[in-house]
Amino acid sequence: MPRLVMKFGGTSVADLDRIRSAAEKVRREVERGYDVAVVVSARAGETDELAGRVRATSTLYDAREYDTVVAAGEQVASGLMALTLQEIGVPARSWQGWQIPIHTTGAHGAARILEIETQEMVRKFGEGLHAVVSGFQGIGPDGRISTLGRGGSDTSAVALAAALGAERCDIYTDVDGIYTADPRIERRARKLDKIAYEEMLELASLGARVLQTRAVELAMRYKVRLQVLSSFGDQPGTLVCDEEEIVEQNVVSGVAHVRDEAKITLLKVPDRPGVAAAIFGPLADHGVNVDMIVQNIGADGMTDMTFSCPTDEVARARAALEAAQGALRYRELVVDDEVAKISVVGIGMRSHSGVARTMFSALAAEGINIKVITTSEIKVSVLIDRKYMELAVQALHQTFGLADD
Amino acid sequence: MPRLVMKFGGTSVADLDRIRSAAEKVRREVERGYDVAVVVSARAGETDELAGRVRATSTLYDAREYDTVVAAGEQVASGLMALTLQEIGVPARSWQGWQIPIHTTGAHGAARILEIETQEMVRKFGEGLHAVVSGFQGIGPDGRISTLGRGGSDTSAVALAAALGAERCDIYTDVDGIYTADPRIERRARKLDKIAYEEMLELASLGARVLQTRAVELAMRYKVRLQVLSSFGDQPGTLVCDEEEIVEQNVVSGVAHVRDEAKITLLKVPDRPGVAAAIFGPLADHGVNVDMIVQNIGADGMTDMTFSCPTDEVARARAALEAAQGALRYRELVVDDEVAKISVVGIGMRSHSGVARTMFSALAAEGINIKVITTSEIKVSVLIDRKYMELAVQALHQTFGLADD
């Protein structure tokens, strides 16, 4: 029988009614003839509550004990889901990470899945027993419970789908798919039927909270077809798949934005080998997540270095750079924390030149000044004044013909 | 190094302050040179909450999933206790039932411990690492989490103490020991320094909620010295031990009472072989917990059958017996739900005759009528009118010289 992995997040198992509603979706797929493995997160808020109790106990906590404590949330959810499935006539049992087992690295709290032994689960499929798997967890080489880091249940689902050779991995969430833009900003935004792994990866790293980046990477590597769809409706969602499967490719698939970016520029840094490392080393040490980086070479042996980071990391960035002033000897540190990042993403860009030019022209036509530009093979990102963010998203959505009809 | 098992119940791990206070007790024993295995229950109320969620999901629930869900409570408590111990400088790690492993029968929800493999834990003791063990749980022959039934953490602690050859098993609870009578009724009640296993067993089955009957049985079988003491003070408690260890034995060690008993009599039942089975079969089927049973043989081929049960089971008992009237053909069903049970317990009784006579005389001197009598080798129990219960406890406490000085 074909196999299907269905993953339900914390809001989809928040209470018994929602678990019941998720279970009904599972039953429908079972009736379609699938052997189903359901992957569940802890109910919304549970992991935070448990993690809070760990932190209240110990500041520099032992990550192995942290994992033991927080993994309890998924354990409860898996048992309740299995019981609910049984109640509506779907034979099912729960599986904890250590029971399957899902072998992970020993990096407790941020483990990576190494191998999933599916033999026993497959044997139980043969007996008509569907599976409910605790997401987010596995067993480390030390024989102890490990967790994959926050949001790891998506990764659990994709890895299990790969190990089971599942026909598809359905990720049920509180949005009903991937849109050409944020519908709160562009009301003509359109749900995509399909999107390529590479595009989804760019969108995930651009702040689309729908899927974990690691889950998308894994899906791409093992060619797991991933569907994002809503727990609360019955519409099909968006299929994240190989680009070969997408017949009608747009040049641009979507416009993404990140509202709370800050632009930091070091003016007149003496340019010498190793200067970039001297700048970004201290930033990393201070836990600053640097996003875009642009360097302009001046003629006078000086360089200007610009980067962006989340606005709430500006204070740390400033502290790191001021402490390093003695070594860097920059002339001035300029912070602009009123910027936003706008990106256009599309695998079609690879074969169509001129996307960047079209984008820049559209922004210029609206009188929007571009402060920083970076590009990748399938993405162009710019920093602009935050006050123009909505306008920019709408203009680009229009320019690249992304709206309905 | 000598080993010690220390068990903390739900109220002792109810919040982080209490866990901290329990951890301090552990540290004290570690400083005395013990390798310590701490056994923890789920925090107070947690198991009920989880069990409630299971029952809300499914009426006839799969006990394997029930076990998976409720065992999460101890898992969290064990992780938090291990972290707290680390915080105060005691190297420790948590162990779940499946990690040790604690092998149990497959009777999920009411499993019995079959074997505890302590090799790995002992090896960790050798590395200076103390153990925190989730009570109440193990792993069944199906490789799934099993639980021992409510209150099973006491049993976990005793079984672990037996497997480790521990010098003692300390059960920390919300009372500070075993008393000669309930101090709320007899203010001169005295805490016993020592009590024999057999006496403790009788007291446990007589309604003393301090220790689980199964835990005491296990301690007796494996000669585990068990200490009951308070989580909230620093006094020594009561040692439950082999009678050989008790130098100065009292004839009677304590007076126990059960307030809410009912006495049910079937008058004039035609006496024939199998009549007792015909009466108590239906009662068992209706879930009535029959306690004392007395049968008087009449001269006329008729018998009167009397038994006692908790007052809140009277309605079920009546329904069962009225439904069986056709088969039993008793003349009358008489219920007295205003009785209490008073017992005197003591291993000294074995060698001292006359305990029953002394007891009956003392009650008669107070004008208390005895309605039913049963005896065992180390116990005499009577049913009396409930309104005399306090008076009877005080009179017997005095008569058998149990008060201080």
A221-242 confidence digits (pLDDT tens): 999 999 999 988 889 999 999 9
Using alpha carbons only, what angle is made at residue A394 by residues A389 and A399, rounded to the nearest 5 degrees?
125
Q: Which residues of A touch B66 (CB under 8 A)?
A: 79, 83
The encoded tokens of residue A269 equal 């840094």
CA atoms A208, A211, A214, A218: torsion sign: negative
Give one word for A78, left, alpha or beta, with left for phi > 0 and alpha for psi -120 to 50: alpha
DSSP state of B177: S
- A161, A169 in Cβ contact below 8 A? yes
Q: Which residue of B61, B72, B79 is in closest CB contact with A83? A: B61
Radius of gyration of chain B (CA): 24
- B152, B145 in Cβ contact below 8 A? no
**Phi/psi at B72 (5° precision):** -65, -30
Mean pLDDT over A125-150 rounds to: 95
Closest approach of A127 to chain B, Cα-based (Å)? 15
Closest approach of B47 to chain A, Cα-based (Å)? 12
> Mean pLDDT highest for which of B94-108, B143-157, B229-243?
B94-108
- A287, A337 in Cβ contact below 8 A? no
Q: Name the residue of chain A whose CA is nearest to B72's CA.
A: A72
Q: Residue A287 has what pLDDT?
A: 84
Identify which has the larger pLDDT, B145 or B292: B145
Identify which has the larger pLDDT, B247 or A99: A99
Q: B57 and A65 in contact by Cβ < 8 A?
A: no
- B152, B112 in Cβ contact below 8 A? no
The encoded tokens of residue B11 equal 């109220």
- pLDDT tens-digit profile of B311-354? 999 999 999 999 999 888 999 999 999 999 999 999 888 877 78
Which residue blocks in B60-151 are alpha helix, DSSP H? 63-87, 119-126
| Domain assignments of chain B as residue spans, ordered by start | 3-174, 255-399
Q: For A3-174, which CATH superfamily applies?
A: Acetylglutamate kinase-like (3.40.1160.10)
Question: What is the arrangement of strands in the sheet containing B293-297, beginning at the earlier edge strand?
Answer: B293-297, B302-310, B254-270, B332-345, B379-385, B372-376
Amino acid letter, B190: R
Q: B79 and A144 in contact by Cβ < 8 A?
A: no
Q: Residue A160 has what pLDDT?
A: 98
Provide the terminal-to-terminal Cα distance of chain B, rounded to the nearest Å. 39
Other CB atoms within 10 A of residue B247 CB? 6
Q: Residue B248 has what pLDDT?
A: 73
- pLDDT tens-digit profile of B79-111? 999 999 999 999 999 999 999 999 999 999 999
Q: B53 and A84 in contact by Cβ < 8 A?
A: no
**Phi/psi at A381 (5° precision):** -120, 145
pTM of the entire structure? 0.84
The encoded tokens of residue A247 equal 């017949």
Closest approach of A140 to chain B, Cα-based (Å)? 12
Q: Residue B233 has what pLDDT?
A: 86
Q: Report the percentage of chain B scoring pLDDT > 90.
A: 74
Cβ neighbors of B405 (< 8 A, separation 6 or more) are: none
Q: Which residue of A68, A84, A94 is in closest CB contact with B94? A: A68
Nearest to B135 by CA among B230, B37, B219: B37
Q: Which residues of A touch B87 (CB under 8 A)?
A: 57-58
Mean pLDDT over B132-152 rounds to: 93
Closest approach of B102 to chain A, Cα-based (Å)? 15
Closest approach of A18 to chain B, Cα-based (Å)? 11
Q: A50 and B76 in contact by Cβ < 8 A?
A: yes
Mean pLDDT over A36-41 rounds to: 97
**Which of B20, B65, B84 is the best mutation test for A, with the most CBs of A within 10 A?**
B65
Cβ neighbors of A253 (< 8 A, separation 6 or more) are: A180, A192, A195, A196, A199, A345, A346, A347, A348, A402
Cβ neighbors of A343 (< 8 A, separation 6 or more) are: A202, A206, A255, A256, A257, A379, A380, A381, A382
Q: A79 and B69 in contact by Cβ < 8 A?
A: yes
**Which of B43, B76, B87 is the best mutation test for A, with the most CBs of A within 10 A?**
B76
Q: Residue B137 has what pLDDT?
A: 97
Q: How many beta-carbon pairs below 8 A join chains A and B?
A: 107
Q: Residue A57 has what pLDDT?
A: 95
Q: Does domain B255-399 have CATH number 3.30.2130.10?
A: yes
Q: Report the percentage of chain A scoring pLDDT > 90.
A: 74
Nearest to A200 by CA among A153, A250, A243: A243
- B169, B158 in Cβ contact below 8 A? yes
Q: d(Cα A11, Cα A25) in Å, to the nearest integer?
A: 15
Q: A58 and B19 in contact by Cβ < 8 A?
A: no
Q: d(Cα A63, Cα A53) in Å, to the nearest integer?
A: 13
Average per-residue pLDDT for chain A: 92
Closest approach of A139 to chain B, Cα-based (Å)? 11
The pLDDT-based confidence of A384 (bands split at 50, 70, 90) is very high
Q: B75 and A75 in contact by Cβ < 8 A?
A: yes
- pLDDT tens-digit profile of A345-377? 998 888 777 898 899 999 999 999 999 998 888
The pLDDT-based confidence of B366 (bands split at 50, 70, 90) is very high
Using DSSP's 3-state secondary structure scheme, residue B388 falls into helix
3-state secondary structure B297-320: ECCCCEEEEEEEEEHHHHHHHHHH
Q: d(Cα A173, Cα A232) in Å, to the nearest integer?
A: 8
Q: A84 and B144 in contact by Cβ < 8 A?
A: no
Cβ neighbors of B299 (< 8 A, separation 6 or more) are: none
Q: Name the residue of chain A whose CA is nearest to B54's CA.
A: A80
Nearest to B68 by CA among B85, B51, B89: B51
Position B150 pLDDT exceeds 70:
no
The Cβ-side half-sphere exposure at B265, using a 13 Å CA radius, reads 13
Which residue blocks in B178-305 are alpha helix, DSSP H? 197-205, 213-222, 275-285
Position B208 pLDDT exceeds 70:
no
Maximal CA-CA distance, chain A: 77
Q: B65 and A144 in contact by Cβ < 8 A?
A: no
Distance of CA B218 to the CA centre of its chain: 12
Using DSSP's 3-state secondary structure scheme, residue B99 falls into coil
Q: d(Cα B90, Cα B63) in Å, to the nearest integer?
A: 37
Q: Which residues of B touch A62 (CB under 8 A)?
A: 82-83, 86, 93
Q: Residue A208 has what pLDDT?
A: 63
Q: Residue A140 has what pLDDT?
A: 97
Q: Name the residue of chain B whose CA is nearest to A50's CA.
A: B76
Using DSSP's 3-state secondary structure scheme, residue B11 falls into helix
Amino acid letter, B262: A
Q: Name the residue of chain A whose CA is nearest to B15's CA.
A: A53
Identify which has the larger pLDDT, B169 or A324: B169
Q: Residue A303 has what pLDDT?
A: 86
Q: B82 and A98 in contact by Cβ < 8 A?
A: no
Q: d(Cα B361, Cα A266) in Å, to the nearest integer?
A: 99
The CA distances from residue B49 to A16, B81, B156, in Å, are: 14, 21, 21
Q: Residue A272 has what pLDDT?
A: 82
Cβ neighbors of B361 (< 8 A, separation 6 or more) are: none
Q: A62 and B83 in contact by Cβ < 8 A?
A: yes
Helix axes B46-57, A16-31, angle to 10 degrees: 40
**Which of B60, B80, B93 is the best mutation test for A, with the most CBs of A within 10 A?**
B80
Q: Which residues of B touch A57 (CB under 8 A)?
A: 16, 19, 80, 83-84, 87
Q: Which residues of B touch A124 (CB under 8 A)?
A: none
Mean pLDDT over B147-173 rounds to: 93
3-state secondary structure A107-155: CCCCCCEEEECCHHHHHHHHCCCEEEEECCEEECCCCCEEECCCCHHHH
Nearest to B220 by CA among B236, B244, B237: B244
Q: B82 and A66 in contact by Cβ < 8 A?
A: no
The pLDDT-based confidence of A403 (bands split at 50, 70, 90) is confident
**Which of B53, B61, B68 is the best mutation test for A, with the most CBs of A within 10 A?**
B68
CA atoms B274, B276, B280, B282: torsion sign: positive
Closest approach of A102 to chain B, Cα-based (Å)? 15
Q: Residue B251 has what pLDDT?
A: 85
The pLDDT-based confidence of A250 (bands split at 50, 70, 90) is confident
Q: A87 and B62 in contact by Cβ < 8 A?
A: no
Which residue blocks in A190-348 are alpha helix, DSSP H? 197-205, 213-222, 275-285, 314-323, 325-328
Average per-residue pLDDT for chain B: 92
The pLDDT-based confidence of A405 (bands split at 50, 70, 90) is low
Position B207 pLDDT exceeds 90:
no
Could you report the predicted ipTM of this complex, rounded to two decimals?
Answer: 0.82
The encoded tokens of residue B152 equal 């099973």
Q: Which residue of B58, B71, B98 is in closest CB contact with A98? A: B98
The encoded tokens of residue A232 equal 């609360």
Q: Which burial class, exposed, middle or buried, applies to B144 when counting CB atoms under 10 A from its CB (0-12, 13-18, 19+)?
A: buried
The encoded tokens of residue B244 equal 């050989």
The CA distances from residue B335 to A22, B296, B312, B313, in Å, are: 51, 17, 13, 12
> Mean pLDDT highest for which of A31-35, A327-331, B249-253?
A31-35
Q: Name the residue of chain A whose CA is nearest to B16's CA.
A: A57
